[in-house]
Amino acid sequence: MIERLQIKWFKSIENVEFEPGRVNVLIGANGSGKSNLLEAIGVLSAAVHGRVDDEALSRRGVRLGVPALFKCSFPDIKGPLNIHFGAWRNTASYEVSLFNPIKEPSPVWRYHTENLQQGQERIVGRSHRKGEKLNPEAGLAALKMVAMTDQDDAFHLFNDLREFAIFTPNTLTLRGNVADAQQRQPVGLSGGQLANAVSDISMRRILRKGETDNIGAFRSKVRQDALSLIDWAKSFGTARASTMPLSPSVASTEKVIRFIDRFMKSGRDTLSGYDASEGALYVLFHMVLAAHPKSPQVCAVDNADHGLNPRLSRELFRNICDWSLNSPYSRQIFLTTQNPLSLDGLPLQNDEVRLFTVSRTESGRTVINRIELSEKLKEMADQGWTLSRLWVMGHLGGVANV
């Protein structure tokens, strides 16, 4: 798990450093920089993998842009800046700065400096000032990882970061009516492989070498929890589109989601993902991220509560925390939300669940602050103040100045 992150000179972020937990929820006004924080981790992930270009960024869900948009451009900042990132886990740390000229941008970002450290040992120390004849478009640390083993903290640091992805599910793609632009396993960045992913975790067969009964029990629990959140459904699964009551005019994938509506009579109680409520599809999407063996070790979901009733959002966030804290996969997740009631599902008394407010200073810099259960907040909670009420009333920060 990533224990500390640093981001410098990236978009609206001049210099931010924070310590994430197992589950991290980011709240803040529109345009405060929540997505910028997630995208910064995406760029760092591409750097860890050894190449930072549009293909690598798109694969991680980062919105593509030119250097003039990626670099800080506050009026009081002088000179062309390199964007800089750092990540720490146990005794290992990785820091990298990337350069791309604004006036004549290159398709590939260049490595300006790289530093990979494990304990007192510097594994990689790279600087453009050394005059080394290295390919500036290729990461040196990524090559060094070939010699690492799972006994090394640096190996786990890179393993956590390199497959990072920002998921942004949307209703049409989840329904299968629109193709997913980035078909990453297990579910596609926009949810285009939802049916296949649900089918995977519904099967009793072992999907991956080394999976145990413990993992099977976890997967079964997550499925049951997800079903309990869809109050109108008796069951869910998948089926071939040709066997479902779908209009021939509806575009769909070969395999589709199938629900059995517990209120309808037998024989006419089957619904596809196209006809079901969008909230049910978002629940299944989060279920897949939690239970599928091929989900990234570290990932993010932007606007994680999209399409959800406030109470459903609260219970879903409660379940996401439970799934993450008890997962045999030891994963780490970042979520953004605009739904106040989502916060009431967070067990903040557990230090592995962390809530952050994201806001901008008077000069426009993005800042991030962790909300902890101080004595004052505990006292207000005893008086009936929920986290959702505290946020809406402005006691947590991260609200729009309108």
What CA–CA distance (Å, rounded) separates 113 from 6? 15
Q: At residue 157, does pLDDT exceed 80?
A: yes
The per-residue pLDDT of the chain, averaged, comes to 91
Bridge partners (DSSP) of residue 7 are 16, 85
Of 247-256, 300-309, 311-320, the least confident: 247-256
How does strand 255-261 pair with strand 270-272? antiparallel
| Tokens encoding 386 | 């929920």
Dihedral (CA of 108, 109, 112, 118) sign: negative
What CA–CA distance (Å, rounded) separates 296 from 285? 14
Give the model confidence (pLDDT) of 14-45 as tens digits.
999 999 999 999 999 999 999 999 999 999 99
CB 62 within 8 A of CB 44: no
pTM of the model: 0.94
What CA–CA distance (Å, rounded) separates 295 from 57? 18
The pLDDT of 247-272, averaged and rounded, is 88
| Tokens encoding 282 | 């978002």
Q: pLDDT at position 395, please?
A: 87
Residue with the two structure tokens 């999209």: 306
Q: At residue 126, does pLDDT exceed 70?
A: yes
Percent of the chain with pLDDT over 90: 74
The pLDDT of 242-270, averaged and rounded, is 87
Percent of the chain with pLDDT over 70: 96
Q: Which helix (H) or strand (E) holds 315?
A: helix 310-325
Give the model confidence (pLDDT) of 47-106 as tens digits.
999 999 999 999 999 999 999 999 999 998 876 679 999 999 999 999 999 999 998 999
Q: Which helix (H) or strand (E) holds 156?
A: helix 153-162
Q: pLDDT at position 324, please?
A: 97
The pLDDT of 280-307, averaged and rounded, is 95
Instruction: Enumerate the domain spans of the chain.
Output: 1-163+347-402, 165-295
Give the model confidence (pLDDT) of 188-208 as tens digits.
999 999 999 999 987 654 445
The pLDDT of 318-329, averaged and rounded, is 96
- CB atoms inside a 10 Å sphere around CB 383: 7
Q: Which of 116, 110, 71, 113 is nearest to 96 (CA)?
A: 113
Straight-line distance from the first to the last Cα atom of the chain, in angstroms, rounded to the nearest whole number: 37
Q: pLDDT at position 241, please?
A: 85
Q: At residue 179, does pLDDT exceed 50?
A: yes
CB 32 within 8 A of CB 359: yes
Please, what CATH class does the domain formed by 1-163+347-402 belong to? alpha beta
What CA–CA distance (Å, rounded) separates 371 from 400? 17
Q: pLDDT at position 144, please?
A: 87
Of 74-83, 151-160, 302-311, 389-398, the least confident: 74-83
What CA–CA distance (Å, rounded) separates 339 from 311? 10
| Tokens encoding 148 | 């690492």
Cis ω on the peptide bond leading into residue 186 (within 30° of 0)?
yes
Q: Which of 346, 360, 363 is nearest to 36 (CA)?
A: 360
Per the model's pLDDT, the better-predicted residue between 181 and 314 turns out to be 314
b vs e for 78-97, b when ≥16 Cβ sit within 10 Å of the residue's Cβ? eeebbbbbbbbbeebbbbbb
Give the model confidence (pLDDT) of 344-380 as tens digits.
999 999 999 999 999 999 999 999 999 988 888 888 8
